[in-house]
């Protein structure tokens, strides 16, 4: 019996899980990103964003804003809020608004 190939969406989810686990597993709790793990993630996976920032405190502020339960770490849900926010911003910049009547 041949197993069905994962869909594009399923592959995207698998990739997000794999990336989160790669960084979350570096120190302490393997289910959360510490501040240092989050910084490593941002500097590696979203390097274009971090390199273009003039303000060195931007990643710290992002972490504080994403850390909804204020435990100093990001769980997978909080991580997904970042990914979702970036995806929405990309989508909004690509959507060409239809001209009005």
User: Going residue by residue through the chain (101 aa), what tens digit of pLDDT does each one get?
Assistant: 557 899 999 999 999 999 999 999 899 899 999 999 999 999 999 998 888 888 888 899 999 999 999 999 999 999 999 999 999 988 888 886 545 55
Residue 89 near residue 82 (C-beta atoms within 8 A): no
Q: Please report the pLDDT score of residue 100 as a whole number.
A: 55
The answer to whether position 23 is within a domain reads no
User: At CA 57, angle to CA 52 and CA 61, rounded to 5?
Assistant: 105
The answer to whether position 57 is within a domain reads yes
Positive or negative, the CA dihedral 31, 19, 92, 65 is positive
**Which domain range does residue 51 map to?**
31-94
Domain CATH code at residue 51 = 1.10.238.10
Say how many domains are in the chain: 1
b/e map 7-24, b = 16+ CB within 10 Å: eeeeeeeeeeeeebeebb
The answer to whether position 41 is within a domain reads yes
- pTM here is 0.83
Q: Please report the pLDDT score of residue 2 as a whole number.
A: 59
The answer to whether position 44 is within a domain reads yes
Q: Please report the pLDDT score of residue 93 as a whole number.
A: 86
């Amino acid at each position: 019996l041949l197993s069905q190939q994962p869909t594009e969406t399923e592959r995207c989810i698998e990739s997000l899980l794999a990336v989160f686990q790669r960084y979350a597993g570096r120190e302490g709790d393997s289910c959360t990103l510490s501040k240092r793990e989050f910084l490593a993630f941002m500097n590696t996976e979203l390097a274009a964003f971090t390199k273009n920032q003039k303000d060195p405190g931007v990643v710290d502020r992002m972490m504080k804003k994403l850390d909804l339960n204020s435990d100093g770490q990001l769980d997978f849900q909080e991580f997904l809020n970042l990914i979702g926010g970036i995806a929405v911003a990309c989508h909004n910049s690509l959507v060409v608004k239809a001209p009005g009547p």
